[in-house]
């Protein structure tokens, strides 16, 4: 895992990200409270999580099942969101230790999470991941498949369908960023129009390099890692676990 840094460095970067979110919301006429910040702690040690949590950050995102389960077990007082690809043999720990899953792209995974979610816990909050820009190597269902997948997931016990997630191909072109994020928002609205019972209220989109475009286009959760935790150093284990 990436080494921890001085606690004050995390707090300063977290404050800067919060200020950026607030300023962008103000500029586009949104209430800052309508955008939740998810601190993506993958590859960083629990000491880094502790330092960011000490600055009043409660929601953390993880991409790798084993690493995330270990952290969630160590800090069960925090809200843990799973945001990475999910293999079938990794679902139990996620179902037992996380409160959100953003990256469901097929019904089989949703069914396993539902079956393995302990009945004494609240329903697992979930989003459907959509391959919004058709990137060949990216996880996510096709936009044309999203409605049917949402309807199937909504019928499962122990899950509460909340919305859609996307990770468009990285680009520094803000018009392309906004076009991709707008497409996910429009898809969410189209799904709600087609089936009002789904009542999707969540858009998980936007990361460190494009969160401003995501906020302008209506995101409700931004997933920010390096802008809070600093640069990552990947190991072979963390890069290939899932």
234 pLDDT band, cuts 50/70/90, is low
Sequence-ordered alpha helix ranges (H) in the chain? 7-27, 46-53, 65-74, 91-97, 107-116, 146-154, 174-194, 211-216, 226-229, 236-240
Share of the chain above pLDDT 90, in %: 89
| Residue 4 near residue 51, CB atoms below 8 Å | yes
What is the average per-residue pLDDT within 171-182?
A: 97
Question: How many residues in the chain?
Answer: 242
| 229 vs 145: CA distance, rounded Å | 35
Residue 232 has a pLDDT of 81
Express the helix, strand and coil content of the chain in percent, nearest 5 each: 45, 15, 40
pLDDT digits (tens, 9 = 90+) for 126-173: 999 999 998 878 889 999 999 999 999 999 999 999 999 999 999 999
3-state class of 171 per DSSP?
coil
Question: pLDDT tens digits for 83-108?
Answer: 999 999 999 999 999 999 999 999 99
Q: How far apart are CA 215 and CA 68, in angstroms?
A: 27
Does residue 73 carry a pLDDT above 50?
A: yes
Question: Has residue 240 got a pLDDT over 50?
Answer: no
Select 7-240's CATH number: 3.20.20.10, 3.40.50.620, 3.40.30.10, 3.90.1150.110. Answer: 3.20.20.10
Domain ranges of the chain: 7-240
């Amino acid at each position: 895992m990436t080494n921890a840094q001085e606690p004050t460095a995390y707090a300063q970067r977290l404050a800067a990200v919060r200020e950026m979110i607030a300023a962008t919301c103000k500029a586009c006429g949104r209430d800052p409270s309508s955008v939740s910040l998810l601190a993506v702690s993958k590859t960083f040690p629990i000491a880094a999580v502790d330092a960011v949590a000490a600055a009043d950050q409660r929601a953390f995102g993880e991409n790798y099942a084993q690493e995330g389960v270990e952290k969630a077990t160590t800090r069960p007082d925090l809200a843990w969101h799973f945001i990475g690809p999910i293999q079938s043999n990794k679902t139990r720990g996620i179902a037992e230790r996380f409160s959100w899953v953003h990256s469901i792209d097929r019904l089989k995974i949703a069914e396993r999470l539902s079956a393995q979610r302990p009945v004494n816990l609240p329903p697992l909050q979930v989003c459907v991941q959509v391959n919004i820009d058709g990137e060949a190597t990216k996880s996510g269902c096709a936009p044309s498949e999203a409605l049917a997948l949402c309807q199937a997931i909504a019928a499962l016990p122990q899950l509460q369908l909340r919305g859609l997630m996307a990770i468009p191909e990285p680009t520094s072109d803000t018009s392309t960023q906004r076009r991709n994020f707008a497409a996910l928002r429009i898809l969410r609205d189209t799904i709600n129009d087609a089936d009002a019972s789904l009542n999707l209220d969540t858009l998980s989109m936007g990361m460190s390099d494009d969160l401003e475009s995501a906020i302008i286009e209506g995101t409700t959760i931004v997933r920010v890692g390096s802008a809070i935790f600093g640069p990552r150093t990947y190991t072979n284990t963390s890069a290939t676990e899932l």
